[in-house]
Amino acid sequence: MEAIQLYAFDLDGTLLDTAPDFFYAVNKLREANGLKSGDFSEVRSRVSQGAASLARYALNLEVNQKKEIEQSKLELLEIYEKCCLGAKLFDGMNEVIVNLKEKNKNWGIVTNKPRKFAEPIVKDKFSRFNPDFLICPDDVGERKPSPKGLELACELANISSKNSIYIGDHQIDIASGKSAKMRTIAAAYGYIPKGDTASEWGADFVINHPLEINKIIESN
């Protein structure tokens, strides 16, 4: 097995527990529209599917109500922008990043979150860890499962994809990693959509807690 020199991470549901912030935003939007508080588990399972899925749930919209979904999404994100710095690292993730730094491994973030939202969060939560990159759809013109963000990560780190691994909590993360010819880790502790199972995504590793990443680091 080729030694892993680059560890790339998804953001929401992998590095950071952002679901409470989105739950707050969803409920503020529901409250403004005369609806009672939503279900946290439902919101959590939708975070990795993006703001449109959360917007649909917030106002009980159907898939074909595209105009209403788009308006709801804009309102939701406006609320979220004001509360997004409340997110916390998942338990154990601090130790994982410290270990990567001590082992002189490259690491960074490849997310589908627009840079407008991702950059302030990463600056607030990770500046002390000095990530090698933050790559958003704005940077490559495509969202995952496109491999372009991960290909750019390898280019910026000057590390081959065969010496790189991507960690994410959604099937599109694993598909993106495979398309980029990287190894992959499915974060089963993350925001797994209802009815989905991380072990079915075909990842090289499946983990149930961030600290399990340290075992992979030590073995490579």
**What is the DSSP-derived secondary structure letter of residue 171?**
H
Distance CA 220, CA 215 (A): 9
Q: Which amino acid is at 175?
A: A
Query: Residue 139: exposed, middle, or buried by beta-carbon count in 10 A (0-12, 13-18, 19+)?
Result: middle
Distance CA 115, CA 136 (A): 6
Long-range interactions of 185-192: CB distance < 8 A, separation 24+: 185/213, 185/216, 187/10, 187/13, 187/14, 189/90, 190/10, 190/13, 190/14, 190/48, 191/12, 191/13, 191/19, 191/44, 191/45, 191/46, 191/47, 191/48, 192/45, 192/48
Enumerate the active-site residues. Answer: 10, 12
CB 61 within 8 A of CB 40: no
- According to the 3-state scheme, what is the secondary structure of 44-85? HHHHHHCHHHHHHHHCCCCCCCHHHHHHHHHHHHHHHHHHHH
